[in-house]
Structure 1
């Protein structure tokens, strides 16, 4: 289990910049936990403090009940991927993993096993400087798995992977969690997190915004919409009008209805002999819920280009 209590990190002389501000959360074994937040939210800084690479200004973090630095054989306890390119470029993939293995008495057979698992066995003799971004990521994941750890902390592991690689890492993370391991993974790909994670820890400007399951987070973010296509939109809207029901229309004959469900809409239409050509519930996506929650926490706001502007 990973625990953060009052975790705080400030940088620089006065005035200081607060990168992480009093974070409290737990990452429990048995489920993939997505660590989410906009750019500049403090995710990487938090991960570095979890791994003892940055000292917190206040608070503390433990993995398996103790700080990372006090684990006598950390590779057997925690596997981490923070920067896939932090490898000597002149080493081969095999020699990089072998050097790590020797620090913990890990046998050569395990090196070969993780090379195979990560899909880099065929390029194990090549120097890392010739690796693509995706192959570098696979090597970094192999290194994280080298000690068969009970805890995984991975920062953007799908970055640079092709579709097959994304599917591979998704399946791998879910299988590791199913074995009872603790898995914390950050990503900017909300669609991938919706498929991979069961729990979420979301931060913005260094502060905790949400600590909940994916399903509960999406459900609590707002009611689902129901798309209705009918030749009598005005009549149906009049019959559905009620406190808490919001109806909009961007296309003639089409209604987007919030605040009630498809069953009620269908029954109302039938009771008043209003034909329906389409009645489709649309649940909110994780991306929509995330954007709504973090809208005020985004450090850099882009603007929409003006239509017809000169190039």
Structure 2
């Protein structure tokens, strides 16, 4: 388990993380989200002892990460995919990490097979693509078979097969009881991978909630309707004050009327309905709504 308590980090006049508190519990994938510059990477670095907090505390399984006698057995982290000695082979990198904790060299071979790098085990890490480096970084995070995993943007550079692989791996680790904290800017991926979300903006906590709870906060005033009498139903609903658009599948996207009222009007007019579904917000919509006022780096429009 990861516990962050009133964590604050200041760089000169810059307050990167401010009084941040949250808990990452075992048995689920927790997504760590926020705009660029929100303080996600800084927070993860403080959790594993790479940055010292200005104030506050972060612990892994009850004590600071660096205080564990065998830290790689407690938590593994991928914070920067390219932070590997470029002249060292993938296998040599993993063997060196394993030996710091008295693990056999065979552990490196097991992990190379797990992440799909066995065929390039003896190639220099400096020749690896970003996707290959991500896979090596995941292997390094798993060297000590830890109960806690922290991954910062692990799907960057991965092809679709790689994205599916990391998604499955994270879910499997959580199912085994691991504590999994993963940051990402891909809301579509978080929607199918994470169960819980910790969202920060400008170093402050914005939400500590489940995916479903966050999405439920956003009201989408649109009902998807399908009928064999599209023109007649469109005219009927428009006459009742609704806004009506047609999607590429010929379904009506109705705004301004609840599903119950749409059904009543259609029944009165004798128009068949094959589908009446209130539209649900996406995770991306909910995230954008929540973080709108905390975006630090925003492009202009031409």
Give the TM-score taking structure 2 as reference length: 0.91
Aligned counterpart in structure 2 of residue 163 of structure 1, from 152, 160, 164: 160
Report if aligned partners of 1:81, 1:144 keep a CA contact under 8 Å in 2.
yes
Consecutive aligned runs of 4 or more in structure 1 exceeding 6 Å deviation? none
Aligned mate of 2:170, from 161, 170, 173: 173
- Please report how far the alpha carbon of residue 125 of structure 1 lies from its aligned counterpart in structure 2 after TM superposition: 0.4
Q: Shift of the alpha carbon at 1:219?
A: 1.1
Match of 1:208 in 2: 205
User: Aligned partners of 2:10, 2:273: CA distance in 1, in Å?
Assistant: 58
Aligned to 2:8: 8
Given the alignment, which residue of 62, 65, 69 partners 1:68? 65
TM-score by length of 1: 0.89
RMSD, aligned α-carbons: 2.1
Q: How does 1:263-274 map to 2 (within 5 A)?
A: 264-274=261-271
1:231 is the counterpart of 2:228? no
Question: Does 1:183 pair with 2:180?
Answer: yes
Unpaired runs of 5+ residues, structure 1, are: 242-246, 306-311
- What are the within-5 Å matches in structure 2 for residues 10-29 of structure 1? 10-12=10-12, 16-29=13-26
1:308: which partner in 2? none
Q: Which runs of 5+ in 2 are unaligned?
A: none
Aligned-pair CA distance for 1:164? 0.6
Give the Cα–Cα distance (whole angstroms) in 2 for the partners of residues 113 and 206 of structure 1.
38
More off after superposition, 226-235 vs 111-120? 226-235
| Structure 1 pair 255–132 and aligned structure 2 pair: CA distance change class (3 A) | closer
Where 2:215 maps in the other structure, the secondary structure is helix
1:301 matches 2:302 = no
Where 1:115 maps in the other structure, the secondary structure is helix
Give CA-to-partner distance per residue, 1:171-225, whole Å, 9 cap, x none. Answer: 0000000001100000000000001000000001111111111111111222462
Distance 1:224 1:105, change over 3 A: farther
What secondary structure does 2:224 align onto? Answer: strand
Does the residue aligned with 2:270 lie in a helix, a strand or coil?
coil
Distance 1:175 1:249, change over 3 A: same
What pairs up with 1:30-109 in 2 under 5 angstroms?
30-109=27-106
User: Which residue number corresponds to residue 255 of structure 2?
Assistant: 257
Is the alpha carbon distance of 1:259 and 1:174 closer, same or farther for their aligned partners in structure 2, counting shifts above 3 Å?
Answer: farther
In structure 2, do the counterparts of structure 1 residues 230 and 61 end up closer, same or farther at CA, with 3 Å as the change threshold?
farther
